[in-house]
A and B are shown apart, each in its own frame.
Chain A
Amino acid sequence: MFDRLVNLDRRILYAIIFVLIGFPLISPIGLPISVSSMVVAAYEVVDSLEEGDVVAWSFDYTVGGGPDCHPHSEAVWQHFFDKGIRVVAVSFVPEGAQFSRELVMLWEEQGKVYGEDMIDVGFIAGFETGIGEFVGNPTGASPTCVRGTRVADHPIMEGIDDVDDFALVGAIATGAPGPFEWVRQLAGYRVPYLPGVVTVMGPQTIPYYESGQAVGLLMGLRDAASYEVLMERPGMATAAMDSQSFAHLFIILLVVLGNIIYFTQQRREADNQ
């Protein structure tokens, strides 16, 4: 039996994974979702903001990492607008500008006013240099927003001279520029910094939360689901968690099975010798 498993066509495994992910999406089971202390901290920081506060939100993610990162922006923006918080969207990754445009348009359809409740500064070139410029001069880093109006002329930017005038800076990233660049550029400023990262970057980013340099941390789709749970507004991230659990269980099973086969074969070879 082990020999058959070792030589199993990998396409059968792919098909099983597809079924395990697709089935819970069609018929959700509702497995419990645990919430990490880092997500609770992120939620509490946003929840402690007051109506009218202005926050900066940076879309530093690519299309490839979008499915893991965009749900962070969707969930936290929902929380922002539930509380009447205003948002300045910006991006230091070319593809991130596409996500910010999409979200701003979505909220405009929901009745939010461009220029008062939110603006989209768009893509600022230069990666870390661009972040450094935005941190020191949010209205001047890009002269105009994506719609051609001077950034400084929007009512939302009134009284915003440097990054400390924001109530919070959130930045969701799939790589560079990401938390490492943001923490470096925010050194010396008092504004709370909330990073969100693609799941792979999680372990590298946790030290910034442990050291207090980040006020919370969102890692991948799972933490977007946790955030939705805390808001009591289950969305597509929450719906995806059953699929994630099923896929993980299957992968764990494969890892255990692979190890059993490996050690059994080693023992068999030793016995034969």
Chain B
Amino acid sequence: MSTDPGIWVAGILTLLAYSFLYKDNKLYQATEHLYVGLGAGYTLVLGYENVVRSGWNPIIEGEWWFILPMLLGLMLFGRFSPGTRWMSYYPMGVIVAIGATLALRGAIPANITGQLSATMIPLNTVNNVLLVLGTLATLTFFFFTLGAITNRNSLLFKFSLLGRWTLMVAFGAAFGNAVMGRTSLLIARIQFILQDWLGIIGTGL
């Protein structure tokens, strides 16, 4: 069993968090609030460190042009008062402009042309055929304005049904992955309790 007080605190808090599974209770709520508070505190400290490291220190070392982003950052706080709210519009504009430009720069090759070319493949394997058919059928499912799609006897409607099934398979895969992910989180906590805290299991195979 661990003698590290930090491990004990983490172990007890883990059990208190899981106590919700039995019944909502005050200790669970206290743990939840503690987690939120710690998260906020950690982010605040990291933000402070980041400003000092990336903004304040370079200014002190003579890179005076870092004053400009620091000033823009300070102007963001103007939004907390109605009289100074206008000040926050300018840095917000800079953030939106830079963010949108950076995202758009890579969006077309990354998400459109790159993905399109990945669908233009030889139909020489079952996987490739499924991929191409599934993509086309799914796209057909999202045609809402064509008259033929509303006619239940049309070939286009039947093809769009294949798209619906493809979507269902994708949702099933996503749900399966979600279950697997949540199970992994639980395993990690039980591993922590059994290994790091109680010392029932070893540190490796």
Q: Please list the residues of chain A having a beta carbon within 8 angstroms of any beta carbon in chain B.
A: 11, 14, 17-18, 21-22, 25-26, 28, 63-68, 94-95, 97-98, 122-125, 128-129, 132, 142-144, 148, 180-181, 183-188, 198-204, 207, 210-213, 219-222, 234-236, 238-240, 243-244, 247-248, 251
Q: When A125-B54, A236-B204, A240-B191 are in contact, do A185 and B184 touch as well, CB less than 8 Å? A: no
CA distance A136 to B118 in the complex (A): 26
- In the complex, which of the residues B98, B109, B114, B178 contacts A129, with contact meaning CB atoms closer than 8 Å? B98
Q: CB distance A184 to B177 under 8 Å?
A: no
Q: CB distance A220 to B187 under 8 Å?
A: no
- In the complex, which of the residues A14, A125, A144, A221 contacts B57, with contact meaning CB atoms closer than 8 Å? A144
Q: CB distance B187 to A243 under 8 Å?
A: yes
CA distance A244 to B115 in the complex (A): 33
Q: What's the nearest-Cβ distance from chain B to residue A257, in Å?
A: 16
Q: CB distance A211 to B117 under 8 Å?
A: yes
CA distance A57 to B4 in the complex (A): 30
CA distance A116 to B110 in the complex (A): 33
CA distance A187 to B104 in the complex (A): 11
Is B126 engaged at the interface, CB distance under 8 Å to the other chain? no
- In the complex, which of the residues A22, A125, A248 contacts B190, with contact meaning CB atoms closer than 8 Å? A22
- In the complex, which of the residues A18, A66, A142, A199 contacts B178, with contact meaning CB atoms closer than 8 Å? A199
- In the complex, which of the residues A123, A186, A235 contacts B204, with contact meaning CB atoms closer than 8 Å? A235
- In the complex, which of the residues B131, B173, B184 contacts A67, with contact meaning CB atoms closer than 8 Å? B184
Residues in A whose Cβ lies below 8 Å from that of B99:
128-129
Residues in B whose Cβ lies below 8 Å from that of A128:
99, 102-103
Interface size on B, residues (CB 8 A): 54
Between-chain CB contacts (< 8 Å), 25 pairs: A21-B183, A25-B187, A25-B201, A28-B205, A68-B185, A124-B54, A129-B95, A143-B53, A144-B57, A183-B111, A184-B105, A185-B102, A185-B106, A199-B177, A200-B181, A210-B131, A220-B180, A220-B181, A220-B184, A221-B184, A238-B205, A239-B205, A243-B187, A244-B180, A244-B187
Which residues between 68 and 118 of chain B lie within 8 Å of chain A, taking CB atoms? 95, 98-99, 102-103, 105-107, 109-111, 114-115, 117-118
Q: When A142-B54, A184-B103, A239-B204 are in contact, do A200 and B178 touch as well, CB less than 8 Å? A: yes
Q: Chain A at the B interface: mostly helix, strand, loop or mixed?
A: helix
Q: CB distance A244 to B204 under 8 Å?
A: no
Is B21 engaged at the interface, CB distance under 8 Å to the other chain? yes
Residues in A whose Cβ lies below 8 Å from that of B191:
25, 236, 239-240
Q: When A25-B201, A184-B107, A236-B204 are in contact, do A144 and B53 touch as well, CB less than 8 Å? A: yes
Given contacts A94-B42, A251-B183, 14 further A-B contacts (CB under 8 A): A14-B21, A25-B191, A63-B39, A65-B181, A67-B185, A143-B53, A144-B53, A148-B53, A201-B177, A210-B118, A221-B188, A239-B201, A240-B184, A244-B184
Q: CB distance B53 to A142 under 8 Å?
A: yes
CA distance A188 to B118 in the complex (A): 17
Q: What's the nearest-Cβ distance from chain B to residue A202, in Å?
A: 5
Q: What's the nearest-Cβ distance from chain B to residue A89, in Å?
A: 15
Q: Chain B at the A interface: mostly helix, strand, loop or mixed?
A: helix
Summed over the interface, the residue pairs from A and B with CB atoms below 8 Å come to a total of: 167
Q: CB distance B114 to A211 under 8 Å?
A: yes
Closest A residue, CB atoms, query B66? A143
6 smallest CB-CB distances across A and B, nearest first, come from A67-B188, A211-B118, A184-B106, A199-B181, A187-B106, A221-B184
- Counting chain A CB atoms within 10 Å of each CB, which of B106, B111, B200 scores highest? B106
CA distance A66 to B187 in the complex (A): 12
Q: CB distance B205 to A251 under 8 Å?
A: no
CA distance A90 to B109 in the complex (A): 25
Is B29 engaged at the interface, CB distance under 8 Å to the other chain? no
CA distance A22 to B190 in the complex (A): 7
- Counting chain B CB atoms within 10 Å of each CB, which of A212, A238, A243 scores highest? A243
CA distance A213 to B194 in the complex (A): 40
Residues in B whose Cβ lies below 8 Å from that of A212:
118
Mark each residue of chain B from 31 to 68: 1 if its CB lies under 8 Å from any CB of chain A, else 0: 00000000100110011011001100110000100000
Residues in A whose Cβ lies below 8 Å from that of B114:
183, 187, 211, 213
Q: When A67-B185, A94-B42 are in contact, do A248 and B179 touch as well, CB less than 8 Å? A: yes
